[in-house]
Amino acid sequence: MSPPLLSVTLVFRSKPEFDAISHVVSAVSTYVDSSVEQPLHKACKFGSVTLLNRIWSTTVDLEPGGWGIWSVRNLLRTYKLYGKFQFTLCLLEAAKINNVDIARWVFERFPFGVRRIVICEAAKAGALEKLQFFRANGAVIHNEEEEFDVNGEWDEEKEDWERGRYMRFGGLDAAQAALAGHVDVVKWLYSTYKKTEEMRNDYCSMNAAFSVGNVELAQWIVGEVRMMPEGLLPLQKAAAAGYIETL
């Protein structure tokens, strides 16, 4: 059970008549503490593990006469799909504020895989430490393991249930990092490819580097993937962005 709010404790400290009925402090704290009603992903925006612990450990919705069936915490405990939904949203918020502690907290409580949208958000934010954390704490999906459904899209739901915690690197992750100017992230993603061999859109990575005028990075990617840019699109993107020297 979460401890009473400090503000409530301080108020009752000056009211000795309540010393013999200590449960009143907890009851009042529960009544005024709206923070525990937040969905986890909204709480993640504050970057506070303490707040997440408070929401996670509160038991007010389990008490007799409570509103447990309608609470977000009850959903987390009893409805796996809701937990998976919150897991992904929490990691997205953690990526936006580049907070590894939040990601670690979420990993300790949920067994789900990390979707590609989370990886791309972390790459776009330049969250290299978070990406390294993901690499170290799950199974990477390799090229030959990619499975597609009839619509030509990855069946992440099936993969999650059958394999457990997968890390969905690849796709546009390096391109997102290049567009945001995070050269270190781009190079790290490609430097680890020999071990992971995930499916990445290399042409988009090169185009992204050209479009922000980073010829050096574009040439580095060309050397890594042993491929040349296709067509005039990279040059058109560079020209449109005003990087004449790229031409």
pLDDT in tens, 17-67: 555 566 555 554 554 455 667 788 888 888 888 888 878 877 655 555 555
Do 66 and 158 lie in a common domain? no
Confidence class for position 8, pLDDT limits 50, 70, 90: very low
Do 58 and 6 lie in a common domain? no
Do 232 and 169 lie in a common domain? yes
pTM: 0.74
For 176-224, how does the pLDDT look when each residue is reduced to its tens digit (9 = 90+)? 999 999 999 999 999 887 666 778 899 999 989 988 888 899 889 999 8
pLDDT given for residue 31 in this prediction: 43
Show the beta-strand stretches assigned E in 120-229: 139-140, 166-167
| Residue 130 pLDDT > 90 | yes
Q: Report CA-CA distances (Å) from 160 to 61, 138, 157, 163, 243.
A: 29, 12, 5, 6, 43
More confident call, 21 vs 116: 116
Do 106 and 119 lie in a common domain? no
pLDDT given for residue 55 in this prediction: 81
pLDDT given for residue 79 in this prediction: 80
Q: What is the four-CA torsion angle of 29, 97, 163, 142, rounded to 10 degrees?
A: 180
| Residue 120 pLDDT > 90 | yes
Do 160 and 220 lie in a common domain? yes
| Mean pLDDT of all residues in 124-143 | 86
pLDDT given for residue 173 in this prediction: 95
Domain finish residue from 57, 90, 111: 111
Mean confidence (pLDDT) of the chain: 76
Do 92 and 130 lie in a common domain? no
| Mean pLDDT of all residues in 229-234 | 66
Do 122 and 238 lie in a common domain? yes
SS3 79: coil
Do 149 and 82 lie in a common domain? no
pLDDT given for residue 149 in this prediction: 43
Do 45 and 148 lie in a common domain? no
Q: Report CA-CA distances (Å) from 161 to 80, 86, 96, 118, 154.
A: 11, 16, 27, 18, 14
Q: How far apart are CA 45 and CA 17, in angstroms?
A: 39
Q: Report CA-CA distances (Å) from 15 to 7, 23, 25, 31.
A: 13, 14, 11, 18
Domain finish residue from 86, 111, 136: 111
| Residue 168 pLDDT > 90 | no
pLDDT given for residue 18 in this prediction: 53
Total count of domains within the chain: 3
More confident call, 57 vs 4: 57
Do 120 and 163 lie in a common domain? yes
Do 23 and 80 lie in a common domain? no
Confidence class for position 150, pLDDT limits 50, 70, 90: very low
Domain finish residue from 49, 78, 111: 111
More confident call, 155 vs 233: 233
**162: CATH:** 1.25.40.20
More confident call, 13 vs 173: 173
Confidence class for position 133, pLDDT limits 50, 70, 90: very high
Domain with 219 in it: 113-247
Do 13 and 49 lie in a common domain? no
**Number of residues that make up the chain:** 247
Q: How far apart are CA 131 and CA 118, in angstroms?
A: 10
| Mean pLDDT of all residues in 139-155 | 55
